[in-house]
Each structure stands twice: as structure tokens, then as C-alpha cells.
Amino acid sequence: MKMIKTLGEFILDNQKEYPDASGELTSLFSSIRLAAKILHRQINKAGLVDITGAAGAENVQGEQQQKLDIYANEHFKNALAQRGVVCGIGSEEEEEYVTFEETKNLDGRYVVLMDPLDGSSNIDVNVSVGTIFSVYQRISPVGTKVTEADFLQPGHKQVAAGYVIYGSSTMLVYSTGNGVNGFTYDSTIGVFALSHPNLMVPEDGAIYSVNEGNYVHFPEGVKKYIKYCQEEDESTQRPYTSRYIGSLVSDFHRNLIKGGIYLYPTSSRYPDGKLRLLYECNPMAFLIEQAGGKAISYPGKRILDIEPTKLHQRCPLFVGSPNMVDKLAQFIEAAD
Ligand code: AHM
Ligand code: MG
């Protein structure tokens, strides 16, 4: 019989390897795991309860908030506040960062940035969505209120990052800087079980993922790269397959496993790109690098090296198999 290793066991085993570990990250992951289970349950009955559709409000970025966006934000926020290891959060659904003010939280050493429900416009049509999270150690003194500087740290300072994908099965994929591991949720016993140990992205792939509806507005180098993806050449598996779900977590997850590249360039509609650096690009960049891939915003500009200036800052994102990202960079450089 195949033994199950649960996420809890896996985290404890790994913690034993670090004699100085205090168990705080373990506790933080318990919060994420709990909120993910609650969200899994809610998403699975989305058509049955009054949870689909727009909530009638806009978030700070002028986007329609879905009811499930708000639900997810509240549950993740509350779960993270409860254990007292997190002193504050930044969220796509919150205009400002949120300070957790209870004494136990003021003593917390971590801040979390998150997109509680990424790709939420997909929820009404029963397509996969996700939660993305990014964890940093605070830089302000323990015992004081969290500050903006705690959130505006470059991505290479992340101590952990991951996502939950609510797809045909629900999975939690994360890294603490020591490889990437994936856990599939078994709702019958209520546990995330290790199903994808030590995930590595293939060096090359044959999938490109981009919203081609924006093609005419893309920079010249990106347009040329897309044409390159579509050209016939057996030796490089071209033409590549185009796959775009419109849910970063799902597109990223597929490309991580199969090999591929995800592109969200600048365009006239989104002059700085659409995706948010702190809770979309950075965690994905951390994961892909841990899995042997690359993430850039521009040739030579590693996502993880960007110095953030704003909580909801946007940036272009090119992420995936290393050889594909390198090839795209060549096209952009040549066009420039
Ligand atoms: P969201 O966080 O408001 O859901 O927006 C992010 C999503 C990503 O999941 C997805 O990759 C992208 O936006 C899709 O954008 P577009 O519809 O412009 O292709
Ligand atoms: Mg998002």
C-alpha cells in the first residue's frame, strides 16, 4: 500500500532539518492550508449557493470584485491573523496593507502578500481559479506595528511562496527556497497529500500562453516571438501549442508541469503590464526559479530583483521554461 505523506508531516519533517526553526512558518502554513480547504469547499458548490457573480464593488485597481474575491480575502486574512505569527498582510482586495494589531501579531515575524482569488472572472463558468501567496520576514522591529517597507521588499527576499489551484483537483504548490513540492487535496479525509515531489520545469516546452486578443498592442519583439512560436520547425517542436486559460495560477501550473512560457507583456491598455509584482509576479518567479525556470520583466531584468515602490505595482511578466524565456528575450532585445 502506498503511504500518504500529508502536508503537515512534510513540513514537520523539513523543519527538523533546521535546528533553529521556531515552528512559526509551520504555523503560518497551517493557516493557509485551513483557508484553502474552506475555499475549496465553497468553490465546489459555487453554482449552488449565492456566491457567483459580481459583488457590486470595485477593488483599488478599478476591477469588479466578485463575491468570491471578498469571501476568499476574508477567510485568508482571518486565518493568517489567528495564529499570531503574521503581523500584517497585503492583498489584491485591500487598498492599503492591513496591520494585525493584537499583541501576539505585533510579535509576529512574517508578512504575507496574497491574491486570495486569482482569475476570479472564471468562477462563474466553472473554470480553474487559484490563490497566490508570498511570505517575507518583516524588517521593522518585532513588537511594533508593521510598516509599508515590510511589504516593499524585492522578491529574492521571499522566504516562501506558493499557490493553491482549485482545478479538477485542488492542489497546494509551494517552496521555502528548497525546491518546489505539490500536494493534492483529498477531501474525503481532509488532507493535502504529497503528490508532486520536487517539481522541475522542463528546460524546453511547446506551449505558449498569452492573451492574443491584445496582439496588435504588444511590443514588436513580443509580436515577433509569437510569430516564431507559430512557425513550422520540427527540430524545435514548432508550431507550439497555444493554451490560455486566463487564470495565471492555472496557466502557470500547466506550464510548470509540461514545459511552456506564459507572457503578460505591456500593451496600450496596460502600459506597465497587468499583473501585480508583489502578489502575482514575485511568488510565481520564486517558484519557477526554484523549479529550474526563469521569470523576467524585460531581457536581463529578473523579476525577483525588482525593487518595489508600490503595494499594487504592476509589471510585465514572462515566465516558464528557461530556454523559452531566453529565446523570447533574444527577440525583445533584437527588436529594441
Ligand atoms: P485577477 O487577479 O483580477 O483575477 O487578474 C489576474 C488575471 C490572471 O489570473 C490572468 O492571467 C490574467 O488576469 C488574465 O488577464 P486577461 O483577461 O487580460 O488576459
Ligand atoms: Mg490576480
CB 302: neighbour CB atoms within 10 A?
16
Question: 93: buried, middle or exposed (CB in 10 Å: 19+, 13-18, 0-12)?
Answer: buried
Q: Residue 3's pLDDT is what?
A: 85
CATH number of 207-335: 3.40.190.80
Q: For a ligand 1 pocket test, name from 64, 163, 222, 247 the mutation site with the most ligand atoms within 8 angstroms of its C-beta.
A: 247
Cβ-based neighbour number of residue 76 at 10 Å: 28
Centre of ligand 1 from the C-alpha of residue 247, in Å: 6
pLDDT of residue 28: 94
Ligand nearest to the CA of 122: 1
Q: What's the gap in Å between 69 CA and the centre of ligand 2? A: 10
Residue 51: C-alpha distances to residues 72, 146, 165, 167 (Å): 11, 33, 18, 17
Ligand 1 cavity residues, CB under 6 Å: 63, 92, 115, 118-120, 211, 246-248, 251, 274
Give the Å distance between the CA of 249 and the centre of ligand 2. Answer: 9
Distance 206 CA to ligand 2 centre (A): 25
Task: Please give the model's pTM, rounded to 2 decimal places.
Answer: 0.95
- Position in ligand 1 atom list of the atom nearest CA 275: 6
Q: How far apart are CA 213 and CA 75, in angstroms?
A: 34
To test ligand 1's pocket by mutation, which of 67, 68, 118, 210 has the most ligand atoms within 8 angstroms of CB?
A: 118
Q: Which residue has the cell 479525509?
A: 189
Indicate which atom in ligand 1 lies nearest the CA of residue 63. 3
Pocket test for ligand 1, best of 166, 264, 268, 278 (most atoms within 8 A of CB): 264
- Edge-to-edge strand order for the sheet containing 301-302? 241-242, 207-209, 261-264, 317-320, 294-298, 301-302
How far apart, in whole angstroms, are the C-alpha atoms of residue 115 and residue 241? 28
Residue 59 is predicted with a pLDDT of 63
Torsion of CA 207, 208, 212, 218, to 10 degrees: -160
Contact 266, 276 (CB under 8 A): no
pLDDT, averaged per 10 consecutive residues of the chain (336 residues), comes to 88 76 87 96 78 65 74 96 95 96 92 95 88 97 97 98 97 97 96 97 98 96 98 94 97 98 94 97 98 97 98 98 98 96
DSSP characters over 258-319: H--EEEE---SS-TT-SSBIIIIIHHHHHHHHHTT-EEEEETTEEGGG----STT-B--EEE
> Which part of the chain has CATH 3.40.190.80?
207-335
| Start and end residues for every CATH 3.30.540.10 domain found in the chain | 7-196
What is the distance in A from the centroid of ligand 2 to the CA of 114?
9
262 CA: nearest ligand 1 atom: 11
The closest residue, in CA terms, to atom 2 on ligand 1 is 118
Give Cβ neighbours of residue 89 (< 8 Å, ≥ 6 apart). Answer: 76, 77, 80, 97, 98, 100, 111, 112, 113, 114
Check: CB of residue 321 under 8 Å from CB of residue 201. Answer: yes
CB within 8 Å of 234: residues ≥ 6 apart? none
Closest ligand to C-alpha of residue 114 is 2
Q: How far is the CA of 269 from the centre of ligand 1 (A)?
A: 13
Ligand 2 centroid, distance to 269 Cα (angstroms): 17
Question: Between helices 7-16 and 24-44, what is the axis angle to 10°?
Answer: 170
- Interacting residues of 36 by C-beta distance below 8 A, sequence separation 6+: 131, 164, 170, 172, 185, 192
Helices (H), ranges, 51-134: 67-82, 103-106
220 CA from centroid of ligand 2 (Å): 26
Q: Whose CA is nearest to atom 4 of ligand 1?
A: 119
Tell me phi and psi for residue 69, to 5 degrees.
-60, -45
Type of residue found at 183: F
CATH number of 7-196: 3.30.540.10
pLDDT of residue 130: 97
